[in-house]
Chain A
Amino acid sequence: MLLSELKVGDKAEVTGLLVESAVRRRILDMGLIKGTRFKVLRVAPLGDPVEIFFKGMYLTLRKSEAAGVLVTKIGESGDGEPMGGQRRRWKFGS
């Protein structure tokens, strides 16, 4: 599924990228590479962009950019808090 299809509180792992050139480079540079696990924290008040959390970073993407990231959901949906029970196993910093 795509990152843009996840709901607030979902946890997921990146499996690939569908976008090209500048956007892809940007996403790679921010650390959204295959295997990166993240959590969807919230969507903006108007419904776009979304905010995700991983490796101590709060990252925001427009849905149009998020639609270029392939993911698989992992574990249970949480509550939108960055510090879930699972967090410490695979994230550094806060």
Chain B
Amino acid sequence: MASFQEIRVALAGNPNCGKSSLFNGLTGARQKVGNFSGVTIEKYEGYVDYREYRIRFIDLPGTYSLTPYSPEELVTRKFLIEESPDVVVNVLEGPNLERNLLLTTQLMEMEVDLLVALNMYDEVEERGIEIDVKQLQRLLGCHIIPTSAKKKQGLDVLLDHVIRVYEGDIEIEKNKLGFRQGVESAIEEIAGLLALESELSTFSAHWLAIKLLENDREVYSLVKEYPVWVKVELVLQKAIKETGSLYKSDPEIIITEDRYAFIRGAMQECVRMPQEGRVSLTDHVDRIVLNRVLGLPIFFCIVWLIFHMTFTLGTPLMEGLDFLFGSFAAVVSPLLPNDTLRSVIVDGIIAGVGGVLIFLPNIILLFLGLSFLEASGYMARAAFVVDKVMHRFGLHGKSFIPMITGFGCSIPAIMATRTLKSRSDRLATIMIIPFMSCGAKLPVYILLAGAFFKPAVAANVMFGIYMLGVIIGLFSALIMKKTFLKSESEPFVMELPPYRWPTLTSVFFQSNIKAMMYVRKAGTVILFAVLLIWVVSNYPRNSALDGALEKQVAAIELSDAPLVEKQAAIIEAGDRVNARQLEYSIAGRAGKLMEPLIRPLGFDWRIGVALVTGLAAKEVVVSTMGTIYSLGKTGESSSELKTILKNDPAFGKATALSLMVFVLLYIPCVAAVGVMRKEIGNWQAIVLYSSYSMTVAWIFSFITYRLAQWVV
């Protein structure tokens, strides 16, 4: 096979310019997703073999500019400087050329090998916008290729030109933006000084000079390291003084204004907009969707729909998967020769990993919905509508959707915080998501509220629990943002992109990626944690119980009771043996050991064990209680957990309420913690978070228990 020569091409462009669609159109399915180092910004890479080259595309995050304030911009800049791609393709949104050109001017300043893809050209033609491409090429100093990702037009021409740029076969001279008197001369002077510093020669001296005048903190700290700084600083101060007296302004503003002046000139020279009188689709839709009266109801309807779709369509699929894993376990189980091996594989691995993978349909459905909202342009509007409330608690409008999602499952919710750009907003949102009561906690409430309250009261109790979670979550966010997360909040200066019908491939692709990330998680951290919990609740073995079950079963078989009773007795005997073993295991001992700690909350060691095993998944609290409360019960007719609890003298309304509050607030399941760790990126935050949630859980359970004892 012939070996291809590789060309590395970076795709840069504004958000919503159709860059991702173009990337998909160019590379097809030959792509992979990673992260840019150190940040959770997804990095998409793909390639296409074209002529004698393998052209590898890197899809950079969408940015308006290349300042060092947002992580996306930093990543884009760092990539362009450090990885120095062979060609940079700047994707422009054809119909909204003007505001897209700011990034282009900055790429020109970086003196990269630039090629412009004038995307959505079909829409340009449709709307009768005339663009003088030849003249624009001269002004931007690079080739401009009209493309349409949607209609797959111009893609081959673009690839041809990538090769031409790579081979240096270009006819268009590079162009430089000129700045105003005073600034331009300062740029030249500084660039001249920097050019003498050989270690800085990897950067364009011209670009560094502009950035210094723009007061760019990153470039500042870079250049400061070199002796040449002393001279540069003098020029900078002179320039600041000069622009101050000449224009009553500072170089940063003047440079931006001159870039826009260049853009305005280019627009006047090269673009003719049609005299259209029609009101665009976006205006029509927004008049209703962002209406002062209808805005909020519509928002809640859309959230409700997404939520409903995720959990009503997802639940049958989830049950189906659950059944599949169950059948798989039933098939595998007899094939395994050894009891311990069987227990590890069936009760440990299959049950544990299966218990995590069954959430996959929910995750895929939710992300289908969210990707659709994002790509259609509604997500930004949702943030606009609820920002005021969220801002009051120190959060961003975009935090709302992940929070709501948390009522279904924390895992997709935590993953959905990626739409938040500021790290402190993301951290705060991630950390309050587990307080939104997830679906797996519901069985616990149903059991306890159902056992101790009349149906009408039980519903109120459950509603109260949900509200408590929301309130504690919001105030936790407020506390976090007022203390250790107060540094950087995202300014709310946000574009509402025009509505567009998203391409199906990109929506599917997006949710597919999230699903794969989740599956990978289930295969590693979660598998390990699940095995650990299995070991903890099964070891050490109580040798006194060896053969105990068999003996009891044999005794029951021999008795002359009716068949139904025999079966019930066998199940009960099994539960009793399991409970003894659980009591003997590390989990059981841990439960007993921690009893003094949870006594004030009204819990005994049995609840302690359930809370430990509940770390695998919250609904496990119920099944563990089912096992453990069958302990010591002999000869009772009904072993239903609800009845057992009701009749247990140590268990009352106060304990039930306290336990519900504790389950609501304490550390989420290992799967959620694993995803949290992945998204936050370090363990310290997880440790901090765990201690916080445990403390909050303890305090509120304690208050609940005491209050309930007093009132009820």
Contact = CB atoms under 8 A, between A and B. Distances in A.
Same complex for A and B? Answer yes
Contact of A48 (B67, B282, B380, B388): B388
Given A26-B69, A33-B253, A33-B260, A44 B388 contact: yes
Nearest to B216: A25
Given A29-B102, A33-B257, A81-B283, A44 B69 contact: no
Contacts of B273: 88, 92-93
Interface in B90-112: 95-99, 102
A23 B422 CA distance: 13
Contacts of B387: 44, 48-49, 62
A18 interface: no
A35 B264 CA distance: 12
Nearest to A17: B253
A60 B256 CA distance: 20
A25 B292 CA distance: 30
B388 A47 contact: yes
Interface in B261-283: 267, 271, 273, 275-277, 279-280, 282-283
Contacts of B69: 22, 25-26
B279 A46 contact: no
A27 B99 contact: no
B180 to A, nearest CB: 13
A56 B98 contact: yes
B204 to A, nearest CB: 20
B292 A43 contact: yes
A93 B92 CA distance: 14
Interface string B277-313: 1011011001000111101100000000000000000
Contact of B296 (A45, A56, A57, A81): A45
A67 interface: no
A33 B290 CA distance: 26
Contacts of A58: 282, 286, 495-498
B494 interface: yes
Contacts of B95: 56, 93
A31 B102 contact: yes
A25 B296 CA distance: 31
A1 interface: no
A27 B380 CA distance: 17
Interface in A35-68: 35, 41-49, 51, 55-62, 65
B384 interface: yes
Contacts of A41: 286
B81 interface: no
A55 to B, nearest CB: 5
A48 B380 CA distance: 14
Interface string B351-388: 00000000000000000000000000000100011111
Contacts of A47: 388
By size class, the interface of chain B is 35 or more
B98 A45 contact: no
A14 to B, nearest CB: 11
A93 B491 contact: no
Interface in A54-94: 55-62, 65, 81-83, 88, 92-94
Nearest to A93: B96
Contact of A51 (B253, B276, B384, B488): B384
A44 B279 contact: no
Contact of B384 (A30, A31, A60, A81): A60
| Listed residue (A27, A35, A49) with the most chain B CB atoms within 10 angstroms of its CB | A49
Given A45-B296, A51-B384, A30 B491 contact: no
B65 interface: yes
Nearest to A28: B256
A69 to B, nearest CB: 10
B492 interface: yes
B292 A83 contact: no
A43 B64 CA distance: 24
A58 B493 CA distance: 11
B391 interface: yes
Given A29-B65, A42-B290, A60-B384, A88 B267 contact: no
A83 B290 CA distance: 17
Contacts of B488: 22
Contact of A57 (B65, B96, B252, B388): B96
A59 B292 contact: no
Contacts of A26: 69, 491, 493
B177 interface: no
Contacts of A93: 95-98, 273
Contacts of B99: 30-31, 55-57
Contacts of A46: 296, 385-386, 388-389
Contacts of A23: 491, 493
B493 A30 contact: yes
Contact of B494 (A35, A60, A92): A60
Given A17-B253, A51-B290, A30 B64 contact: yes
A93 B497 CA distance: 13
Interface in B676-695: none
Given A28-B256, A31-B102, A45-B293, A65 B67 contact: no
Given A55-B98, A92-B267, A62 B391 contact: yes
Contacts of B380: 60
A32 to B, nearest CB: 8
A17 B64 CA distance: 19
| Listed residue (A35, A55, A56, A93) with the most chain B CB atoms within 10 angstroms of its CB | A93
Given A92-B271, A92-B273, A59 B97 contact: no
Given A42-B286, A56-B98, A61-B493, 7 more contacts: A44-B384, A46-B385, A49-B492, A60-B495, A65-B491, A82-B279, A93-B95
20 contacts: A17-B253, A25-B65, A29-B64, A35-B257, A44-B384, A44-B388, A45-B293, A45-B296, A47-B388, A49-B387, A55-B99, A57-B99, A58-B495, A59-B494, A60-B495, A61-B493, A62-B391, A82-B279, A82-B280, A94-B498
Interface of B: 64-65, 67, 69, 95-99, 102, 252-253, 256-257, 260, 267, 271, 273, 275-277, 279-280, 282-283, 286, 290-293, 295-296, 380, 384-389, 391, 488, 491-498
